[in-house]
Structure 1
C-alpha cells in the first residue's frame, strides 16, 4: 500500500466501512470480534500510524495541557513544573511549557484540553484578555486567597499569611524579637509577604519593624504599593543565557545587613534562593550563620541539601502544588467533582540556620 496509509485503505482491504475501522482502532463502539481482529492485523501489517491532529479532532481530546510558566530557571517553578508533568503522566496527559507566560494567543494555535498558570497575576491577565471570550478549562497556582478572576477559576493556594506567621512564631519561640525581612522587589507575592510580615511585626514591636527591612531594590522607601515591573533589574547572563538571579539578590541583601545600623537577630528571606545567596555573602563578610545572625527561607527547595549550614525554611512544596493543579484540571476535564479553593500544605523544615536565643 506504500506510505501514508489511511483508514479508508484499511477499510477497503478489510471489506468494511471506514466507521467500522474507526471504532475498531479507537476501541469504541461495537465491532464484531472477527472483523476487529482482521482490521487490527491489517493496520499492524501495513504500518498504519494515526494522525494525532485528526485523532484529537475526532475524539475532541488531546491529552495535552499548557503551562504558561515564563521562567523555569528559578528552582521553585522548575519543581512546580516537574510536579505537574509527573502527575499528568500518571493520568495519561502531558504538560507543554509555554515560556512566554503572557503569550495567551497560544491557546488558539495549540491543540490542548486546558491551561495552567504559575500565579494568580498571570491567571488574572489571561482571564481579562483571551479568557473573556475563549473557552478553555483553566487552573492556577495561587499565593493570595483573596485573588478574584474575571471568570471563576479553580486555584491551588499557598496561604502566605499563614506561612509568614508560622515562620515568625517559630523564630519567636527561639527567642528572636528583632525579626527582619529581606525582599528582592516590591511586587507580586513579594509585596504580599512583606505586608503580612509588617502586619505581624507591628503587633509585636510597633514601628520598630521599619529598622529591620532589607529592601534590595529600595521601592518600599517610595511606596508600599506593589509596582508592575518585569523584574529586568536583576537579569543576569551566563554563557549567553539570561536569567533572574535571586541568589545574587540575596548577596546584595547581606551587604545591606552589614551596612545597617540596626541589625535583626533573624532574617526571613523572600525565598530559599535569596536565602542561599545571603548566607554565602554573609560568610564572605565574616558573619557566622546562625551564631551572629539567623536566616530562614520560604520554599523548601531540594537545593537546600547543597548548602552548609543547612537552611531552615518554610516548606511550601512546589511540586505538590503543581501536581494538585493538574489533578484539579483533569477533574474539570473529566467531569469529576472539584473545588475552586484548594489549599496546599506547608510546614517548617528545620535546618541549622536558626539560633535558639531562648537557651542563651
Structure 2
C-alpha cells in the first residue's frame, strides 16, 4: 500500500508538501497540488483515516449503540438518526455488544448515541469525564457532556392504564419488558401509580422480554388462570411485539376468545405490523424517526460546543377497536 513517503519520493518534494497538498492547503501551488494528486491516484494511495483523525481530532463518524438488533423497533429510529447526520456531513455506524465499547476510548467516533444496557452508567460517566460526547436514550445521567433524549414512558403507560380503566376493567395484567430495561421500569412505575389512584383495581404483573414469545407466554398464563371461564380481561403489553405475540397465541390456541370483547389488549410503540392486527391494536404512538433525528441533533450540538437541554419524546394513545367488559 502506497504511503505519503512514496508519493513524496516520486514527486521529488518533501513529505510535508505532500501532506499539505492532500489536505488542500494554500501553502502549495495549484500546479504542485495537481501533480501530487495525480501521483497519489496513480499509486492508488488511500488516506489513513486513523492518522487523519489524530491530526484533526475528528472522524466525522457517529456511533449508535444498541442492546441487540432483534425485532422491528429500530428501523425508523436508525433512519431518523442517519437522515439528520447525513445533512450534517456525518456517517453513522451501528454497534452492539461490550466488545464495541472500545470505539469510544480509542476515539474512533466523534460521539455516541446510547440505547444499550451493556453500558454501565458509571462507564458512560467515565467517558464523559474524558471529554467524550454522548446522548443517552435509555437512562438519566447528569453530566455536561451527556444529553438525555428520553421517551415519555410514564405518560404513555398512564394513558394506556387509564384507558383500560375507563373501558370498565377492574383487573389489569401488565406484561413488562426485561428487568434491566429503563423503559420498562418507567412504564411499570406509572402503571402502579395509576392503580394506586383508582380504588378497587387489581394489578397482576408478568415479566416479559419485549419479544413476541414473551407475549405468547403471557397469553398462555392468562388463559390458564381463567380456565373456569374468562368473563373479561385487560392486558397492557409494554411493547407491540409482545401484544402481537398475544394476538398470535389466542388466534391459534383460543379462537373462542374474541379480542376486544373477552380480552382487551393495549401495546406500546405503534409498530407498522400492529396496524394489520384484527381488531386493530390499541397502542401508544410516537415518532421513532423524530426520536433518532433529535438524538443526532443534540449530539452534533454537543460536539460543536453548543448549549443543549434535555429533550423528551411525547406520546399519544392510538385507539383500535375497543369493546368494554359490559358490551
TM-score band (shorter)?
Answer: 0.7 to 0.9
Is residue 2:320 matched to residue 1:355? Answer: no
Task: Output the CA distance in 1 between the equivalents of 2:120 and 2:205.
Answer: 30
Secondary structure at the counterpart of residue 65 of structure 1: strand
Task: Output the CA distance in 1 between the equivalents of 2:129 and 2:149.
Answer: 24
Report the equivalent of 2:224.
259
Report the equivalent of 2:192.
198
- Stretches of structure 2 lacking an aligned partner (at least 5 in a row): none
- Stretches of structure 1 lacking an aligned partner (at least 5 in a row): 218-243
Question: By how many angstroms is 1:269 displaced?
Answer: 0.9
Residue 263 of structure 2, aligned match among 267, 288, 293:
293
My pick for the range that moved more, 108-117 or 9-18, is: 9-18
Say what the alpha-carbon RMSD is for the aligned residues: 3.2
How is 1:50-69 mapped onto 2 (pairs within 5 angstroms)?
50-69=47-66
Question: By how many angstroms is 1:30 displaced?
Answer: 4.6
Report the equivalent of 1:281.
249
Residues 110 and 58 of structure 1: is their aligned pair in 2 closer, same or farther, counting only changes over 3 Å? Answer: closer
Provide the TM-score with structure 1 as the length reference. Answer: 0.75
Is residue 2:304 matched to residue 1:339? Answer: no
Question: By how many angstroms is 1:112 displaced?
Answer: 1.7
Contact 1:102–1:126 (CA under 8 A) maintained in structure 2 = no
Question: By how many angstroms is 1:251 displaced?
Answer: 1.2
Contact 1:20–1:31 (CA under 8 A) maintained in structure 2 = yes
Contact 1:268–1:295 (CA under 8 A) maintained in structure 2 = yes
Is residue 2:96 matched to residue 1:99? Answer: yes
Contact 1:127–1:151 (CA under 8 A) maintained in structure 2 = no
Secondary structure at the counterpart of residue 72 of structure 1: coil
Report the equivalent of 1:308.
278
Deviations 1:37-87 (A, max 9, x none): 333333333332212222222222112223332211133245434443444
Provide the TM-score with structure 2 as the length reference. Answer: 0.82
Task: Output the CA distance in 1 between the equivalents of 2:232 and 2:122.
Answer: 38
Deviations 1:146-192 (A, max 9, x none): x334665201111212112233454456x334362222454433232
Secondary structure at the counterpart of residue 348 of structure 1: strand
Residues 288 and 333 of structure 1: is their aligned pair in 2 closer, same or farther, counting only changes over 3 Å? Answer: same
Matched residues, number: 320
Contact 1:120–1:140 (CA under 8 A) maintained in structure 2 = no
Secondary structure at the counterpart of residue 75 of structure 1: coil
Residues 140 and 148 of structure 1: is their aligned pair in 2 closer, same or farther, counting only changes over 3 Å? Answer: closer
Report the equivalent of 1:233.
none
Task: Output the CA distance in 2 between the equivalents of 1:121 and 1:49.
Answer: 35
Contact 1:115–1:139 (CA under 8 A) maintained in structure 2 = yes
Residue 247 of structure 1, aligned match among 195, 199, 212:
212
Report the equivalent of 2:29.
32
Task: Output the CA distance in 1 between the equivalents of 2:67 and 2:88.
Answer: 25
